[in-house]
Structure 1
Amino acid sequence: MNGENPVSAGLSWRVLHSIVESTPAEWEALSQGRPFQSYGWYAYGERVMADCRPAYVLVTQEGRAVARATFFLVRNEPLPLPPSLRWPFQVLFRYRPLLICRSPLSSTSGLVVPESPLRQAILRVLVAAARQLAQEQRASFVMFDFLEEEQTRWEGWPEEAVAVTVPQPGTRMEILWSSFEEYLAHLSPKARKHYRQHQRAAERMGVTLTFQEKVTDVKTALRLIRAVERRHRAAPNPWARRMLEEAWRVEGRWLEARLAGRMVGGELILADEGVQLVTALGLAGKVPNVYFLLGYADIRHAIEHGRRALRWGSGAYEVKRRLGFTLEMNNHALVMAQGNFARLMRWFQEKPC
């Protein structure tokens, strides 16, 4: 599918339905080293999210790609809602899916656009393409998520786009140290004391940590991941198993904690373009200190592998603040309803309180 918009700075667009329809050179010319936007990362995403049809809109000007928006047709989005509110949407999206612009599996936007003044015209083209895709695929809503608040106010978005803020933002640490010992030295005396206490407790208990290129016991790892999701009343990640199985393709490592030969914790470490992402946390109950052991190992791994930054997900904000993490500010989204859903959304917006 492709289209032209002669009144928008001579821009036209075309749609790819797989990363293999592009070339690494063409793709990376737009990505320009942005983390979780690389050709290899999207190849991984397609393998893992095989149930979500991709649609990559490339905007061109005079035959040269100048912008991109990567959409996925998602029927099983793990919504950040209480279980009692989650199921009606799960039923709806099975039949009328979401069309979401994002980089796969990375809590990162799928928008790659230049600065003004061309940006405004490009956004109009991308929105027009998204609406056409949504109509063809019978999507209920078009969503641009993992945006910063300032991005939701860009000129070029349609008036009917509704800005929402997603609770529980992720966290991030810029890696400023050449060694883990240097990192520890920058912590407060209290934080260093906590680190030593956790290490001594692990030694007494006999907890061991190992890094694996491939997860050797996916069944147990997945059971621990589901236990954490239930503990926090979070929707199960429908792609967790495939993320574990395919992680070796993107510098992935499974960090595993064992006690007396039994897996008691683990998490998946992924990386792209110098940024490390930690996800898929799994923990057994009633085994103290494991969360902290995994966290310190994540930081050490990022430093020793020369990462520029470490992203460590949401929650436990005070603990992460003490360790040097700050909030990520990309917890905003723009939502555009389609067809009857647009009329319903307008009715709710106009309805008197």
Structure 2
Amino acid sequence: MKTTKSFHFESTPNVREIIFHSISTDMNFLSWNENALDMEVELSGFKSEVEEYKPIVENHGDVMDVFFLKKKAFSISFFGTVFPSFRVLNATIKVPKGITLTVKSTSGDVRISDVSLKAIRVTSVSGDLNITGGKCGDVEAKTTSGDVKISELADMKKLEIRCISGCVSLKEGSFSEAVIHSVSGNVKIDGIDPSFERLNIKTISGDAKIFFSSKPSLQVDFSTVSGKVKMGERVIEGKAKNLSFNTDKNPASIFNFKSVSGDLEIAFEDHDDETKEDFGFTSKNDETKTMLRDIMKERKATKEEISELMKTMGYSEEEIEKFLDEEDEK
């Protein structure tokens, strides 16, 4: 049978974090002014199991743990296919404002809407995470194959997203610092406030597309092996090691992108004329080599000393040999 049951759990004033443990339950979170936990869950199973069901709530000082199922449910088999006899299908949950919300899930989707929280931390294997509206200080999401979508979430101080194959989408929000690591999933940032302090994106094969709500004041540092980087009319294809360019004379924000084969595209929303601006690319390697040339020119170091210095800086034997040969020819 299927039915919906409601539960109410009073919280204590010293509770700062609530941790939800789930396997496959889809969860919908809201925040409210009450210092209590309010839950409405949809259940499926035998009548006796449904009637007896109650979430397990444990208090550990300033942390509250909530388990939808603390032990594995009894399963039944039909023609070789195993079905759990009892399931918590989904839950709509109201949590106190200002707390840290932590969710540990295997395959259930997590939706968080119009909340006012200190922090959000979500760990999932294959479930999707969708955060829409509200305010939150810190957000941390870790998934294997689940997608992460965050839209219209304001005042994030620190955002950290790590995923394997899931895609990442950020839309119309604001943050101070963000770190996004993805192996093969794509990253899309659309209409984000460009007045952040730092944004780091790292992928293996995933592409990144960034559309700012207005022209950003950026220092852009990027490295790729075989990817393509596009900014306005400028395009870099193939290997690009430690390249950099600024969108302003005195950039206020730093954006760092590293990828093996993923592409990067940066544009300004509704500013077609501005995206035609020709930004000059400079190489940090070129700046370093200029410094080394000056040292050699002023005879402050020998070729052997320059060679050893370049090795410690990560240059390959081929790069060092080519550099020294070019200097000998001058």
TM-score (norm 1): 0.21
* Larger RCO, structures 1/2 (Cα 8 Å, 6+ apart): 1
Structure with larger Rg: 2
So what's the TM-score if we normalise by structure 2? 0.22
